[in-house]
Amino acid sequence: MGFAIVGDWDTAEDRFLDALQAEMRRRGMVQADQAEIRESTVVFHVLEPGRIIPYRRRSQSVYVVSVVFLDQWPDNLLHFGYPMLIRSLGNLLLMTDRDPSACRAAFVTLEQGSYVVEEDGGFDRWIAKVVDRLWPLATSRLVINNRFEPDLPEFLWEGDAVSKRLCEAGRRLDEWDLLPAPFPMEQLLSPRDMRHIHHLFGIGGLSYGNLSARCPSGGFWMSASGINKGAMTTVGEHVLLVKDYDETRNEMVLSVPPHIQPRRVSVDAIEHWMIYRDHPQVGAIVHVHAWMDGVKATQVNYPCGTIQLAREVAGLVREAPRPERAVIGLKNHGLTITGTDLDDIFARIDGKILRHVPMV
> Tens of pLDDT along 84-98?
999 999 999 999 999
Q: Are residues 173 and 322 in the same domain?
A: yes
Report the domain count for the chain: 2
Q: Are residues 29 and 74 in the same domain?
A: yes
Name residues whose C-beta falls within 8 Å of residue 18's C-beta, 6 or more positions apart in sequence. none
CATH assignment of the domain containing 97? 3.40.50.10300
Q: Is residue 354 part of a domain?
A: no
Q: Are residues 26 and 86 in the same domain?
A: yes
Question: Average pLDDT of the chain?
Answer: 94
Name residues whose C-beta falls within 8 Å of residue 132's C-beta, 6 or more positions apart in sequence. none
Q: Is residue 355 part of a domain?
A: no
| Number of Cα atoms under 13 Å in the Cβ half of residue 122 | 4
Last residue of a domain, one of 82, 115, 139: 139
Q: Is residue 240 part of a domain?
A: yes
Query: How high is the pLDDT of residue 199?
Result: 82
**What is the number of other CB atoms lying within 10 angstroms of the CB of residue 167?**
22
Contact yes or no for 101/123 (Cβ under 8 A): yes
Pick the closest to residue 159 from 217, 207, 211, 209 (CA basis). Answer: 217
CA dist., res. 296 & res. 320, Å (int): 9
User: What global pTM score does this model have?
Assistant: 0.93
Q: Are residues 90 and 153 in the same domain?
A: no
Q: Are residues 174 and 260 in the same domain?
A: yes
CA dist., res. 276 & res. 348, Å (int): 20
Whether 202 has a pLDDT exceeding 80, the answer reads no
By percentage, how much of the chain surpasses pLDDT 90? 84
* Residues counted in the chain: 360
Contact yes or no for 254/233 (Cβ under 8 A): no
Q: Is residue 97 part of a domain?
A: yes
Pick the closest to residue 170 from 342, 356, 338 (CA basis). Answer: 342
Q: Are residues 56 and 106 in the same domain?
A: yes
Q: Are residues 84 and 149 in the same domain?
A: no
> Tens of pLDDT along 249-278?
999 999 999 999 999 999 999 999 999 999
> Tens of pLDDT along 59-71?
888 999 999 999 9
Q: Is residue 339 part of a domain?
A: yes
Query: How high is the pLDDT of residue 305?
Result: 95
CATH assignment of the domain containing 153? 3.40.225.10
Q: Are residues 218 and 336 in the same domain?
A: yes
Q: Are residues 242 and 257 in the same domain?
A: yes
Range of the domain at 101: 2-139
Query: How high is the pLDDT of residue 34?
Result: 73
Whether 206 has a pLDDT exceeding 80, the answer reads no
Q: Are residues 201 and 312 in the same domain?
A: yes
Q: Are residues 113 and 168 in the same domain?
A: no
Q: Are residues 20 and 165 in the same domain?
A: no
What is the dihedral angle through the alpha carbons of 78, 82, 85, 86, rounded to the nearest 10 degrees?
A: 160
